[in-house]
Structure 1
Amino acid sequence: MTMRIRLLSLLAGAALLGMSACASDKGATKAEQPVAQAPEQEPSELEQRIAEQATGSQPGKVASIDADENKLVLSPYSPAAGEAELTLEDQTPVFRGGEQVSMNPEEALEEGSDVNVYYQSRAGEPPLVLGIAILEPEQARQIQEQLRGGGAGEPKA
């Protein structure tokens, strides 16, 4: 009986190790998801790390931001998506042109700002913002065209 319990414990441990290895292989999962990329912007090393840690990113316009309530409301560019409420931490890095410009989104952003929000999904709670990239007007326009189906003569992204 003790031998059977040890064997089951070993098998359960091996299964958990296998699942955690699969779960940590986010590259394959992210590669399969179509995401509109901001053109001609070289992200900093910190922004790249945040993007890798994030379970997703969403381009859109800031609908509202409230640091007192740790809340960001994003109006995504994607026509099918509705406004998204996300949770901010006390300090959240904000990037522009690949460089970090602030740790305080409320100071760096305003309603209507074009952004790409990197977030971490959480069960039963709004997603947590890991970082925010401010988009240049041309980047925002190109992403919106990609999401609408490619724009004038461009292939659909």
Structure 2
Amino acid sequence: MRLCKYFALGLILGIVLTWGWFSFSEKNKAEPALPALAPASQQPAPFAVIYSFYQALAAGREDQLSTLVTREFGTALKSTSLLQRWQQRRQQDPSLRFVFFLIKEQEVDLKTGIARVRGSAEWVSSRQGTISVPQTIIILNEQGVWKIQDIKEQG
């Protein structure tokens, strides 16, 4: 009889503790501040401007690029071959589309309003597969709006 009491008490105690563990452990879990796969509109500035820039570039919306870059870089884009190269690539391969910008290194100085990002723009093409373009991008805060100041391709 004594053995049955201890067994029943242990079983009840085990059930109560297991129930308490699972029901209260969910309340202590903190939600992440930002989901890992958040869309660009939910990403913290200044790096969301990079995604918007490449989306506009891939879609051929050159008029939208001027709102995403500084005035000096916008002039440089038109005069240098960077914009022309991407237009030629898009004409040669219409299946070329922008996927994401992989950030490998970043620094943000909120006092001066300058951010530097080193990473690679990832493009996908049905002909060439995945194309990775290593770049360093400098972003400037102009009156509360982050804009791309310079893009330097590496390699």
Tell me the TM-score normalised to structure 2 length. Answer: 0.26
Identify which of structures 1 and 2 has the higher relative contact order when contacts are C-alpha pairs closer than 8 Å and 6+ apart: 1
TM-score (norm. length: structure 1) = 0.26
More helix by share: 2
